[in-house]
Chains A and B, each alone.
Chain A
Amino acid sequence: MKFLDEFRDAAIVRALIGQIRGATTRPWTIMEVCGGQTHTIVRYGLDELLPRTVTLVHGPGCPVCVTPIGMIDLAIELSTRPKITLCSFGDMLRVPGSTCDLFDARAAGADVRVVYSPLDALELARREPIREVVFFAVGFETTAPTTAMVVHQAARLKVPNFSVIAAHVRVPPAIEAILSSDDNRVQGFLAAGHVCTVMGIDEYRPLVEKFKVPIIVTGFEPVDLLQGVAMCVAQLEEGRAEVENQYARSVRNEGNVAARGLMAEVFTFVDRRWRGFATLPKSALALSDRYAAYDAIRRFGLTQTRANEPIECRAGEVLRGLLKPLQCPAFGSSCTPDHPLGAPMVSAEGACAAYFGAGRLAAAATEAK
């Protein structure tokens, strides 16, 4: 397929690995922020092809994973109320809340449905006017514009029985939190190409100036990721710290102007606690007062519980890049995709699921022998 196959070309991949090997004189630790990137890296084994001096750590870029358990509990509680139809992306329904997940709620009689696009949820509301259709909206700045559009469309078409639980989060506050923490070891970032497709790259300039770390806006295919790593290593070796754009075929400096415009109208920044992180200032998007009528949290008077994560699950450390999935004692034993203990094992973008899917446990066992 065009724009996919060329960016998976094995000869180019080998050449880029050679380039990185030749350019690296010291050990460097680089974090890829997006869960989609983590999957490409693990699936193609890019981390194993890189010289040992270059360590890739996986970041918090799985939106399902960073959604706090209290938010999931809130959605589960709402789904059990009469006349409610709760919809979300498939991954979200399997993330454990403090007692069960949304699929369990469905098995117990709640009307919980999987949608592919937020527009499907709005369509459902129009088809079934006697039900209250609530879209549980998770995702980074890539997904937030899709929610903005349906909320705007619901208001325009005056759909009274539609609302959203807005659980969207922003990437820059998470990068800031990682760089500010005492145990940080990340020296450069591959920023998420699709987040920047929407937001542009200016948000990253203050971070580069404050923390003096290179940030490379990077795409999702093997060639993209290795080119991103090569650009990052080049900056680190030369002592530079700049924002560079590897993913120019999709990312313009100003981002997607139409999407940003509607996001600014529909959302407002709020502080939020993330799974694995403390409360991060201005890290989340809630519906603005203008669209309060479509805010399920206000419409149904919902409050977040302060439930804690199961102690066995080390998702917090995995999400901050402090622990690799294989270092979690539960990985592959008490925690598998069929019986996940934590969100990173559930989501298609979670680091633990990526490792499991790529058969890393078996590989590690063979190596140990």
Chain B
Amino acid sequence: MCLGIPGRIVRIIDEQGLRMGEIDFGGVTRKVCLAYVPEALIGDYAIVHAGFAISRVDEQAAARTLELAREIETQLAEENE
């Protein structure tokens, strides 16, 4: 239940005054409430928890996190040479 996972927003609609949408999780599409991510657009990734998007994934921040981790990998490889 708490395992929020990222998916890509493929559709945004209004349903009874609520910002709703469809999110694609690697081929499986689910209806999700987008009211808490007013800034998110089609094509953006969002973290979804219990049928609600709770954040728009910041792609630059994701890239930085990975870059930091990969630097360690390179460092270690060099030390082992």
How far apart sit A246 and B68, CA to CA, in the bound complex (Å)? Answer: 11
Given contacts A90-B1, A119-B33, A146-B52, 4 further A-B contacts (CB under 8 A): A1-B25, A149-B35, A248-B64, A250-B57
B residues neighboring A (CB under 8 Å): 1-6, 8, 16-18, 25-26, 33, 35-38, 45, 47, 49-52, 54-55, 57-59, 61-62, 64-66, 68-70, 72-73, 75-77
How far apart sit A194 and B51, CA to CA, in the bound complex (Å)? Answer: 14
Q: Name the prevailing secondary structure of the B interface residues.
A: mixed
Contact B54 A89 (CB under 8 A): no
From A118, A146, A223, A256, B69 is in contact (CB under 8 Å) with A223
User: Is A142 interfacial (CB-CB < 8 Å)?
Assistant: yes
User: Is A108 interfacial (CB-CB < 8 Å)?
Assistant: no
Could you say which residues of chain B place their CB within 8 Å of the CB of A6?
62, 66
From A62, A91, A250, B55 is in contact (CB under 8 Å) with A250
B-contact bits for A128-144, CB 8 A (1 contact / 0 none): 00000000000110110
Partner-binding segment picked from A13-21, A311-319, A324-332: A13-21
Could you say which residues of chain B place their CB within 8 Å of the CB of A250?
47, 54-55, 57-58
Interface residues on A, range: 35 or more
**With A2-B45, A6-B66, A223-B69 as contacts: A145 and B1 at CB distance below 8 Å:** no
Could you say which residues of chain B place their CB within 8 Å of the CB of A249?
57-59, 61-62, 65
Q: Considering the complex, give the chain A residue whose CB is closest to the CB of B46.
A: A250
6 sample A-B contacts, Cβ–Cβ < 8 Å, listed by A number: A2-B45, A39-B3, A117-B52, A248-B65, A249-B59, A349-B1
How far apart sit A261 and B54, CA to CA, in the bound complex (Å)? Answer: 13
Could you say which residues of chain A place their CB within 8 Å of the CB of B45?
2-3
From A7, A15, A116, A153, B50 is in contact (CB under 8 Å) with A116
User: Is A227 interfacial (CB-CB < 8 Å)?
Assistant: yes
A residues neighboring B (CB under 8 Å): 1-4, 6-7, 11-12, 14-16, 18-19, 34-36, 39, 61-64, 89-91, 116-120, 139-140, 142-143, 145-146, 149, 153, 156-157, 194, 197-198, 220, 223-224, 227, 246-252, 256, 258-259, 347-349
Could you say which residues of chain B place their CB within 8 Å of the CB of A258?
35-38
How far apart sit A116 and B33, CA to CA, in the bound complex (Å)? Answer: 12
How far apart sit A183 and B69, CA to CA, in the bound complex (Å)? Answer: 35
Contact A4 B6 (CB under 8 A): yes
